[in-house]
Structures are given as structure tokens and as C-alpha cells.
Amino acid sequence: MSALALAVGRAALVVFVCEHGNVKSLIASRWFDRLSEQSGLALRSVSRGLSPEGAVPAPIALRLGRDGFDVAGFEATALAPADVEHAGRVVFIGVPPPEWMGRSRVPVERWDGIPPASEDYEAARDALRARIAALLRRAARARAR
């Protein structure tokens, strides 16, 4: 089990959540998985939305494709209590946690201030990657203890 899974018995899963589940949280999830693997950490992630909106918008899918991620067939999924039950951490990107999350013991982070990917994909991607890198550094340090 990874050091990122701070709660005993929690899987090494990070759940990224944004409003629609098909842009910011998807970008974060894909980059998290890639950077985690490159770092040698056994962590994985999923993307969820508070109000899911189906498929990835074409301009975002194109940009993700240029970054080496195939998102054809991806459909956004609503955040559910089962997602949280199996998570080591939940990261809310530009949205507040739903009220029912107040009962959860899973560590929660808020990542506000990420630029809109629809307006500037590269700025959004780079801001997310910086926060992901910091999260992975914390996990690596905790693992080394």
C-alpha cells in the first residue's frame, strides 16, 4: 500500500473530481497515472464529475491525444460514495466537495485556481501537472520514511 493512502485499509487510489468529469479531472487523472508510473509509485487514479457531461469535448480530446492519451470512448462518471470508500485521497478541482463527503474519513484536497482548459489547455495542464508533481513528491517522501 502506498504512503499516499493515509487512512489504514485504503487503496492507493486518488479520485479527481471536477464539475463535469470530462476535462480537468480527466486531464489530472491521465497525467497523475503517467507521472506516478514514471516515479515508480504504485498509485492510480480515476476521474469523476459532480454533474457529468458525457464524452470529452473534441478540442480537449485532441489536446490530450497530442499529449499521448487516447480518450476515445471515455464517458464521464458521477462521483459516488463507492468511489470514496475505495480511495486514499479525493481531490476536488474548482468545485466544493458534496455535503455527504463531510462524513468521510478520506483525506480531501481542493485545487482551486486552475485555468479553464477550454480557453487555454496548456495552462490548465501545466497547473495540474505542477500540483500532481507536488502530490507525488509528498507520497514519495512518506514512502521513504
Q: What phi, psi does 93 have (nearest 5°)?
A: -105, 100
What confidence category does residue 142 fall into, taking pLDDT thresholds of 50, 70 and 90? confident
What are the pLDDT digits (tens) for 86-134? 899 999 999 999 999 988 889 999 999 999 999 999 999 999 999 999 9
In a domain, 126, yes or no: yes
In a domain, 145, yes or no: no
In a domain, 107, yes or no: yes
In a domain, 87, yes or no: yes
Number of domains in the chain: 1
C-alpha span between 79 and 25 (Å, rounded): 11
What are the pLDDT digits (tens) for 4-29? 444 333 458 999 999 999 999 999 99
How high is the pLDDT of residue 7? 34
For residue 68, give Cα distances in angstroms to 27, 50, 80, 128, 136: 11, 26, 29, 16, 20
How high is the pLDDT of residue 58? 97
What are the pLDDT digits (tens) for 75-96? 999 999 999 988 999 999 999 9
Mean pLDDT value of segment 17-42: 95
How high is the pLDDT of residue 9? 34
In a domain, 4, yes or no: no
Domain that holds residue 17: 13-140
How high is the pLDDT of residue 104? 83
Give me the CATH number covering residue 128: 3.40.50.2300
How high is the pLDDT of residue 11? 52
In a domain, 3, yes or no: no
Of 138, 140, 18, 13, give the one whose Cα is nearest residue 77.
18
In a domain, 27, yes or no: yes
